[in-house]
Structure 1
Amino acid sequence: MDDGELIRFDKVTKCFGAHTVLDSLDFTVSAGRHVTLIGPSGSGKTTILRLLMTLTKPDEGTIRVGGRYLTHEERGGKLVPAGEKHVREVRKNIGMVFQQFNLFPNMRVMRNITEAPVQVLGLSRDEAEERARGLLDLVGLTSHADKYPSQLSGGQQQRVAIARALAMRPQVLLLDEVTSALDPELVTGVLDVLRDIARTTDITMLCVTHEMNFARDISDEVLMFDSGRVIESGPPQKMFTDPDHERTQQFLSAIL
């Protein structure tokens, strides 16, 4: 892998039935970069995030994170499907915030954030809670630590989900349409939290969103997907004001 490269897809193909969602995709993200994936529904954007979280596996090709294969490992000089222990170890470096908040309804906010650091990273409960308090302050929910998810608004639940993902101190944060399930008046608060994270941390962010102003604000690079391939990429000021590809022009004119 090249210096600074954190994520690499090599010839990754993913099909669902007869539909090819990713078509021999080559794709890289450098450490510390904020990359936004745009394109029509079904173009493969969310599938990339699901592959990185190992919620689905590639049919062909390989994925590496931090120089290590994600769903494969080398044994006896050969590349073979990885065991669950290997997958868990590599995946620890990746956090994801989903469209739906996916909080544990039977756990208070504090425990939602501390459970994985205690169980997966082996932090003491005190260490995990200290980390969680700092993250609750970051997302503006310090006074909500003892509430259950059902006592929070959708925007507050999504901010807890962001704090939970950050509690694992991942190298990579995946954001999958994180505001799509929110009422419009709640969107701004969540996006402001993510802007703060992008501005104040060195975490690598890979974002799927239809919030183009947000993408323009936080992205170092924007990639346009169509039919499972990257058809154009560039800095946001170029992509949103003067894209080269006709398909990109069509897509952006329909949503901007």
Structure 2
Amino acid sequence: MVRFAGVIKRFGVQTVLDGLDLRVARGEKVTLIGPSGSGKTTILRLLMTLERVTEGTIHVNGKPFSHMPAGAGGSLVPADEKYLAGPRRRIGMVFQQFNLFPHMKVLENVMEAPVHVLGLNREEAAERARELLDLVGLYDKRGAHPTRLSGGQQQRVAIARALAMRPDVLLLDEVTSALDPELVAGVLDVLRDIARTTDITMLCVTHEMGFARDVSDRVLMFDHGRVLEAGPPEQLFEAPAHARTRAFLGSVR
């Protein structure tokens, strides 16, 4: 579903991703762990087209993503905004901050993108939104404004909003980091249910190691823009091969 081939990302003289080769299978749940500044969130930002690769290519669903075909020879050139508009719709992201529209009710927040981006009629979008709010346990809050919700409830609305676009890939960037500790469990439970009951491909950046262990098919340890090691969660958490991984896990447990 997702393939990074030799991806390098630089910000000025700083190399944030250093020749990343990564494949994520359709339906696979992959969690990225590692210290701050190791390049994890940059991977998600590249897939959201909030950043562009410096070198290398990204493919999504078997098609060029960071680049687009140029002419009949099969060569690729950096993708322009018009090209990106199509594949970008197939990727959903839940950010650290909720970014809900405060002037819209909860139901309208979830409906907005399917109506204006996918072209769904309002009836169909409303039905989809109600189903997703039920999924995240907030059907009874559909008529409320976001300011009337707790932080955990707002984040669950943000998850429903991302799923409303029926993405092929769901990106999760430290989705509990802005929440009070007592609200974290509810959001993580919703994501566990989604991971367990859907075939959506998930790429997750988190410092919640218990959550990573529960939902992941594979965990990748990053440091200085490179993957130090990768494996099933039981292997990486119980018997990490790399000293840096052992030190990092010791600091976050």
TM-score bracket for the superposition, by shorter chain length: over 0.9
Q: TM-score, normalised by structure 1?
A: 0.97
Alignment of 1:207-226 (within 5 A): 207-226=204-223
Q: CA deviation at 1:70?
A: 1.3
- Equivalent of 1:94, from 91, 94, 101? 91
Q: Equivalences for 1:106-125 in 2 at 5 Å?
A: 106-125=103-122
| 1:110 maps to amino acid | L
Deviation string 1:35-89 (CA, Å, 9 cap, x unpaired) is 0000010000000000000001111111110011112111112211222121010
Give RMSD over aligned pairs.
Answer: 0.8
1:156-214 deviation line (CA, Å, top 9, x unaligned): 00000000000000010000000000000000000000000001000011000000000
Q: How does 1:45-194 map to 2 (within 5 A)?
A: 45-76=40-71, 77=73, 78-194=75-191
Find 1:30's aligned residue among 25, 31, 51.
25
Aligned equivalents of 1:187 and 1:45: distance in 2?
21
Which of 235, 239, 246 aligns to 2:243? It is: 246
User: Could you state the TM-score of these two structures normalised by the residue count of structure 2?
Assistant: 0.98
Q: In structure 1, what is the Cα distance between the partners aligned to 2:52 and 2:107?
A: 32
Q: Distance in 1 between matches of 2:45 and 2:133?
A: 26
Letter in 1 for 2:192: R
Shift of 1:111: 1.0
- Cα separation, 2, equivalents of 1:191 and 1:254: 21
CA distance in 1 between counterparts of 2:154 and 2:7 reads 34
**Unaligned segments of structure 1, at least 5 residues:** 1-5
- Structure 2 spans left out of the alignment, 5+ residues: none
* Deviation at residue 254 of structure 1 after TM alignment: 1.2
Runs of 4+ aligned residues of structure 1 deviating over 3 Å after TM superposition are none
Q: Within 1, Cα distance between the matches of 2:103 and 2:83?
A: 30
The one-character-per-residue Cα deviations of 1:125-147 (angstroms, maximum 9, x if unpaired) are: 00000000000000010111111
Letter in 2 for 1:188: A
